[in-house]
Each structure stands twice: as structure tokens, then as C-alpha cells.
Amino acid sequence: MNTLITIRTPHTINTINTIRNLRRSAVMSLVSAVAAASLVLASAPANAQALPANPIGDTSNANGASEARPQAIDIRQLHDTLNLTATQEVQWQAALDAMRNSHAAAKMNADQMQVSMQRLIDQPVLDLNAIHAAHMKAAQADALLPEQSSKTWLVFYSGLNNDQKKVFSDALRPQLAFVAHHAARPFDPRTGL
């Protein structure tokens, strides 16, 4: 049985580690540059998402300061409180369906973007034009989704009487106040920014 024994001196180990670190550094720099370019080129409204609930026990912001996030709206409780008519119930269900479809389509687009990006970054030489085109395609696919959902909710809201609008407004107000207070600092759960 022939075995090959490689003797590595401290010099060769340092050289190998230096080469590995340089490769990692170069790759991370390129990835950072591409990510920064993508963020600059992306339009925020096309990728806007609702603020997610904090993980249990985590109420800190980026600066480490504690802040209170409003509780998520209990959609079932809101539905029961509104005492909807038959026509309003149809509009409610249409709004919920549009919201669910929009969310599902956005998730599917994100999955397709992830597969596309993986295929593109597996190439020996990155094609930044193709990466940018894939990003723009995903942004365009997602651009109309919030608008479709918003239109159905606006139709529903316009069909409510004044008492129902007050109940709906009171349920939504804490969420909107939180967004208004933190409009310049969106939160992305994937990056923590």
C-alpha cells in the first residue's frame, strides 16, 4: 500500500493560510460590492415588506436600545369585532385572498431568485450584468404585488360604515404609528438591518 506523506513546515502552513485568507477576503469583498450595488440599485417600495414580529424576548433595535413593537393585529378578532354584512364579508375574503396570494407569489419569486443567484455565483467568473438582470427581474415581479393587495383592502375599507372604520382604524393605528416612527430604518429579518 503506497501512501503519500506530506510534511508541512510552519512556513508552508502560513503560506497556505495566507492564500486561503486572501481568497476569502477577495470573495467577501466582491460579494459585499455586489450586495451594496444591489441595494443601491433596488427600489425600496418594490421590496417593501411589513415589519415582522420580534423573536420572543428580543426587543432591542440596531443600537441595542429597547423599543416596544406593537402587537400583531389579530385578524380573526378584528373580523369578529367588525360585525360584517354579507357584502362586506365577500370583500373581506377577497382582501384576505389577495394578501395571501401576494405573499405566496413574493415567496415564490424569492425562491426563484435564490436558485438563479446560486446558479450565477457558481460560475468561475461572475457575470455581474446577469446578476443585476436577475435582481431587476425579481424586483419587477414583486413590484405589483403590494398594489394588488392594497386595492382589495381599500375596496373593503370603503365599504365599511363609520363605526366599523373606527374599529378598523383603532386596530391599525399602532402598526402605522410604529412604521411612521421608524420609516427611515426598515428591518430586514434576513440581514438584521
In this prediction, residue 40 carries a pLDDT of 36
Which grid coordinates belong to 26? 477577495
pLDDT digits (tens, 9 = 90+) for 38-70: 333 343 334 334 444 444 444 445 555 445 777
In this prediction, residue 39 carries a pLDDT of 39
Per-domain residue ranges of the chain: 7-39, 84-160
Check pLDDT > 90 for residue 159.
yes
Residues 98-126 have a mean pLDDT of 91
In this prediction, residue 25 carries a pLDDT of 47
* DSSP-based helix, strand, coil % in the chain, nearest 5: 65, 0, 30
The type of residue at 49 is Q
Q: How confident is the model at residue 143 (pLDDT cuts 50, 70, 90)?
A: confident
Cα 90 to Cα 88: distance, rounded to the nearest angstrom:
5
Cα 29 to Cα 6: distance, rounded to the nearest angstrom:
32
**How many CA atoms does the CB half-sphere of 153 hold within 13 Å?**
15
pTM of the model: 0.55
